Structure formats: structure tokens, C-alpha cells
Amino acid sequence: MQPSVLVIGHDADRLQATCDALALGRLTNPVVACRDASDARDYVLGRPPYDDRDQHPLPAVVVTDLHLGEGSGLDVLRLVRSHLSLRRTPVIVVADEAEDHEITEVQHLGAAAFLAQHLAADVLLGVIRDTGVPWSVGRVEAGA
């Protein structure tokens, strides 16, 4: 199974819209949605219900809201950077608004991108495709 695209967001409608946009963008990777930093931590660390790595592979890309209902995107970014197998995994942080110190921290922790929430989904798809992940995030060609 291909590595996943892990999407973390506390707003259920926005989370679903992001997952739908990625599917419509014809990514070949499975998209996994988590509602908060705690659920994302369980996924990344392979804790139940995500302990079967054949069904729940490590992500090739992580997309997280900066502000989550429980925890924050910074917590997710720190976790990914501290995980030996994920240190170089691109993390894209998305926010409606952010304070200067949050933006500085996102940069310091090495996020691949920081995007305004209102940007179109195709911009997110472009950023994901441009992260340099070699084979794992691609397109399904029309008619394939």
C-alpha cells in the first residue's frame, strides 16, 4: 500500500472538503483524516486503532490546521520532526490567521509550506506535488 496523505483538522466540514479536494485532484495515495492532534499522534505512532501499518502506512505528506480543537498543528509538526522515520516528511500547515510567533515556529520547525486557509484546494494540491516526495504522491491519469 502506498504511503498516505495525513490531513488533520478540527472542523468536520472543512476536513471533509479538503479530503474531497485531494480525491478530486486524483492523488493516488490514500487520504487519512484525523480530527485533532491526539488522533494524529496515535496515527503517526502506530497506536490503536492505527497499529496495523499495512492498513495505516506512515504518511508521505502531512497537512494540518494550525489551530486544532485539541492540541495544535505545531504539536503535530513537532511530533513528525521527532519521529525518526518521518523527519523529512513534508508538513503543510494551514491557518485562517496566525500570530507572528506561530509563523516563526512553523518556519523554525521546518514546515514545507504555510498556507492561508482560504486558498483554493488546487493550490494545496500543487504544494503537495512540489514537496519533492519522489513516487508516492502522484496523479492518476484520466482513463487509467
Residue 3 has φ and ψ, to the nearest 5°, of -60, 155
Q: Judge contact between 62 and 90, C-beta under 8 A.
A: yes
Which domains does the chain possess? Answer: 4-129 (3.40.50.2300)
- pLDDT exceeds cutoff 50 at 16: yes
Backbone dihedral region of 55: left (phi > 0), alpha (psi from -120 to 50 degrees) or beta? alpha
For 19-63, write each residue's pLDDT tens digit: 888 887 777 888 999 999 999 999 999 999 999 999 999 999 999
Q: Judge contact between 76 and 69, C-beta under 8 A.
A: no
Q: pTM value? A: 0.84
For 70-128, write each residue's pLDDT tens digit: 899 999 999 999 999 999 999 999 988 889 999 999 999 999 888 887 775 667 777 77
Type of residue found at 43: Y
Query: What separation in angstroms does the CA of 68 have from each of 57, 92, 94?
Result: 23, 14, 11
What pLDDT sits at residue 136? 36
